[in-house]
Structure formats: structure tokens, C-alpha cells
Structure 1
Amino acid sequence: MSTPEGRPPRVVAELGRPETPEETAARKAESSRRHRSNQTLRNLVLALLASLAIVLFLVLVVVRPTQPDRTPVAYDTVASEAQPQVKNTLVAPDLPDSWTANAAGLNTGADDVAAWSIGFITPANQFISFTQGIDANVTWVSNQLEKARSTGSAAVGGLDWKVYDRRDKEDTGNFAYSMTTTVGTNSVVLHGTAATKEFRVLAQAVASQLRNTDGSGK
């Protein structure tokens, strides 16, 4: 027996004899299959590595656009514009230039209480919310504080303030520390993430303005 090329048939050790044309064809077909399979696996690995390289490039090299700084809100101007809507003097505390506001507005809730609010960013880049409820009641104050219980009191700016310190609890968010006081028909709520000394700075400025009014704006 000879091959079509004139060479003697290949002797297969496992068979102990030359392989038949059919066996030769089967062997070559299996070899081709394994080659294609290995080639496909290599292509997949190369494609995966290329994809990972692109992702790494985007993460390390591409510059992410930064968010523009929000323009501070002139809360004293907003207070002046909103003042004709209510009888009480809207508090616009006089604070150092290192304090800024990111929001201010007068709104009336479902309880019909007009609430004047300012969101302050402190010099330490923390947040304190100021809210002045007009003709509010104790239920309104409790709702503003998510029904937290007072943990103490403090005298600041000639006013007595209730303190709500929940910094030892988890998930308090912007209600980690709070202060409340009442002057005439004004109920004031401060809450946020700032240190106690920054709360006292704001409380002092609020008290200074409240004590200069009779609580009704008249």
C-alpha cells in the first residue's frame, strides 16, 4: 500500500501498522479542528485584553468634566422679595463672608404654615439648614426634626434653644445635630452636619435679628 504522493503509508505506533487513507483523513480533520479551536480561544483572549486596555485607558487618562461651582444664593435679596407675602420679618442672618447659601425660599406646606428656609454651607464645608415657621406649633417643629427628642438645651444670643444631638446614631443624614427656639410667632429650626461651634455662630446671628423684632414684623 502506498500513499497518493508515492510515499509509504504512515505507521501509527498505537496501531502497529500503517494507517488507512480513512484514518489519515480523520487524523488530519481532527488536527484541523483543534487548530481552529485554539485559534478561536486565542482570538477571544486577545479581544478581552484589548477591551480591558481600552477601559483602563478611559479610567486613567480621559479627563472627567468637573461640575461647575454653584453660584451662592443672595438670601437677603430673596428675603426682601418674599417679605410682602408674610406679616413676620423674614430672618436673613448677618454672617461672615466665609458662610454661603445654596438655597433660599418661602413655601407654604400642607399644614398651611409659611416656612422661610435657607441652606447654609459653613466655613468647614458642612451644611446647616435654617427654617423659620410663621404661626407654627409644636407639631410643625416636631415634623421638621423628624420627631426627634431633645437631648439638652443651650443659651445662645440671649435665647433659650433646645438641642437635638444625634451624632452617636447611624443614618441621621442632615439631622445629626439640631437646635430650635421660639420668639413670638416665629419658630426657628436649625439642623445639619456642622460642628456645634458653627451652629452657635448661626444661632447667634439668628437670635440677634429675632430680638430686634417683636415676632410679628410690626
Structure 2
Amino acid sequence: MNKPAPIVAELGRPETPAETAERKAASSRAYRSSQTVRSLIAALIATLAIVVVIVFAVPRGEPASPRTVDVAGIAADVETTMGRPAIVPDLGTFWRVNEAGLTSGSTVVWDVTLAPAADEERGFIKLAQAFDSDSGWAPQRLNGIAATDTIAIDGRDWDVYKVGDAGAKQNITYAIGTQAGDDYVLLYGSRSADSTAELAESLIPQINALSEAS
């Protein structure tokens, strides 16, 4: 004997086969939807976990320190090569050396590039000691600009080069130079006239020594 179909409270009667099928289909859809949401949440959590692992696993290096240039050591080699002293700037706490070396050509030049050690300071000054040269050599470094004036720094006369637009591409805004015995010393770059004069003043003892030795 068949058991009578249960009465559904919402209907007040037994479900028809069509209603039963529809209810089961709706339940199945709801189940699949909940599974999709769960799967999506699980995937997001897994992705986040991977990102966290990558972030903490990748080594964190310290910023690279500026390269230290042994300007005194290089200058000693230059002195041996040229048979006379190479001017070595006194860096103190303000300056650092970015580059230093001997530049060959029709005129051999001892080149040193100086920049402020502090990050908040800007600009640079290049020291060029042109061996066996005079002021006629300087325009080669200054896009053809010749000296137009002179200034006295600590009792020594320096040629002043008004670079102007000619030095824009190299970011050169100011230059001064003086004869040091058989050599010509040129300071040029993007620092102010006062800053350049301060550097020049610190070089006077070495420049005087070169002049006296000639």
C-alpha cells in the first residue's frame, strides 16, 4: 500500500510532482551558488597568502652606498706617470669624489669630479690640471669660451670664464682658472661662484708649491 504524500505546510496540501521537481532544482541551484561563493573566497584567501609570502620572502637590501674613489692613490700613480705633483683636493666633510683619472690627448689632464656629500646639496665642480698648458687650453673644456675677467683669491689671480648658454648642455655655469707653474688649473661646474672660490682657496698651497717648483 502506497504511503500518502506529506502535506506541505506552505501549500496546505501535498506537492505535485512538478512542484517537487522545481523545489529540488531551486535547492540545487542555491547549493551550487553557495559553493561558488565559498570557492571564490577560498581562492582570494589563497592568493592573498601567496602575496604575503612573496612580500616577506624577497630580500630587502640596503640602498647602495656611493662608490668610494681613492683620489689620493690615483693621484700618486699620476705623479709617477707625469713626474710632477697632481693636485689632490681636501674633501673635508663637504665634498666627495665621483671620478678621478688621467685624460690623455693632445693635452694630458688630471681630472677630478667633486660633488657635495650631503644629499640636500646640489651641483658639482670639476678640477682639471692640464699639464704643460696655459689659459689657451681652457676653452677646449668650456665650449670655446675664453676668460673675460680676473678675481683675486687668497692673493692669487684667477681667470673668470662667463660660460653662459655655452655650457648649458654640460650643466656648466661658472669657471675659474689659474696658472700653476707649467700647468693650468681649471675649476668648472654648476656650483656658485662663492662655492667655487672656497674650493679654489683650499687648493692655493698646492698651486703655490707647483709654481715654486717650476
State the TM bucket, normalised to the shorter chain: 0.5 to 0.7
Q: Deviation per CA, 1:68-103: give whole Å up to 9, x if none.
A: 343131211210122110122100022322210000
- Cα distance per residue 1:149-196 (max 9 Å; x no partner): 334221113211111233577835332111111121010111100011
In the alignment, the residues of structure 2 paired with residue 118 and residue 68 of structure 1 have an alpha-carbon distance, to the nearest angstrom, of 22
1:83-140 residue CA offsets vs partner (Å, 9 max, x unmatched): 110122100022322210000001221x1x2210100003523110000011024442
In structure 2, relative to structure 1, the CA distance for the partners of 1:104 and 1:77 (3 Å cut) is same
What amino acid is aligned across from residue 161 of structure 2 in structure 1? Y
Matched with 1:114 is 108
1:191 paired residue among 176, 179, 188: 188
Name the SS of the counterpart of 1:175 in structure 2: coil
Residue in structure 1 matching 2:72, options 76, 79, 83: 76
Alignment partner of 1:213: what SS? Answer: helix
> Which residue identity does 2:72 align to in structure 1?
D
Matched residues in 1 for 2:108 and 2:181: separation? 15
CA contact (8 A) 2:138 2:146 kept: no
* 8 Å CA contact retained: 1:151, 1:164: yes
Would you say the 8 A contact 2:161–2:174 is kept in 1? yes
Q: Who is 2:142 aligned against?
A: 145
Give the match for residue 202 of structure 1: 199
Calculate percent identity across the aligned residue pairs. Answer: 24
Q: Which residue of 1 aligns with 2:87?
A: 91
Task: Tell me which amino acid in the other structure corresponds to 1:117.
Answer: D
The 10-residue stretch of structure 1 (123-132 or 190-199) with the greater mean CA deviation from structure 2: 123-132
Q: Which stretches in structure 2 are left out of the alignment for 5+ residues?
A: 1-60
Structure with a larger share of its residues in helix: 2
Look up the equivalent residue of 2:79 and give its one-letter code. Q
**Structure 1 segments unaligned to the other structure (5+ residues):** 1-64
The equivalent residue for 2:46 is none
**1:154 has 2:148 as partner:** no
Moved more, 131-140 or 187-196: 131-140
Q: TM-score, normalised by structure 1?
A: 0.61
Distance 1:138 1:201, change over 3 A: closer
Spell out the pairing of 1:21-36 with structure 2 (5 A cutoff): none
Identify the match of residue 104 of structure 1 among 100, 105, 108.
100
Equivalent position SS for 1:88: coil
Which is further off, 208-217 or 149-158? 208-217
One-letter code aligned to 1:84 = T
Residue type of the alignment partner of 1:205: S
